[in-house]
Amino acid sequence: MSQFGTDITPDDIIETLGFFDTWEDRYKYIIDLGKELEPLPEEHRTEANLVRGCQSQVWLVHEQRDGRLFFHADSDAFIVRGLLGVVLAAYNGKPAREVLDFDIEGYFDQLNLIKHLSPTRGNGLRAMVQRIQTIAQSEA
């Protein structure tokens, strides 16, 4: 099972990013987060699991166990894998209602993230969030 959402929480990411003085160091940390993501098996890298609106290829699958949503995601870009880690820390292992209620924009604001991404990366990040929230709505 992914450690995002359990061992790595939004508060952990906010706190760790706060230790770094430069965005270059923060990007390195985000890329390192992406290295913690388990690779998505080839059979899940399908057109149906592709997240639309991302500059890079991003695949997202989910399962529901014991009333909680578990997301598995992967990308062909290192920074995007890291951004997936940031998002999964917020949503993974939570009931659908908590996914829908989580203040993702407030989280991104605390990270000071969106303004440090290119517009296309920011749009891709929002597309990932929208896909997760759509899944949560269908499971709620």
User: Is residue 123 in a domain?
Assistant: yes
User: Is residue 74 in a domain?
Assistant: yes
Q: What value does the mean pLDDT of the chain take?
A: 93
Domain residue limits at 34: 10-139
What pLDDT does 12 receive? 94
Q: Residues 90, 103: contact at Cβ < 8 Å? A: no
The total number of structural domains that make up the chain: 1
- pLDDT of 58 strictly over 60: yes
54 catalytic per annotation = yes
Banded model confidence at residue 2, pLDDT cuts 50, 70, 90 = low
Q: For residue 113, is it left (φ>0), alpha (ψ between -120 and 50) or beta?
A: alpha
- Closest by Cα among 135, 118, 124, 120 to 52: 124
Banded model confidence at residue 4, pLDDT cuts 50, 70, 90 = confident
- pLDDT of 1 strictly over 60: no
The DSSP bridge pattern shows strands 68-75 and 58-65 to be antiparallel
Q: What is the pTM of this model?
A: 0.93
Give the CATH number of the domain where residue 106 resides: 3.90.1010.10
User: Is residue 4 in a domain?
Assistant: no
Task: Considering the candidates 54, 83, 87, 129, report the single residue annotated as catalytic.
Answer: 54
Could you give the dihedral angle defined by the CA atoms of residues 28, 50, 8 and 68, in that order, rounded to the nearest 10 degrees? 170
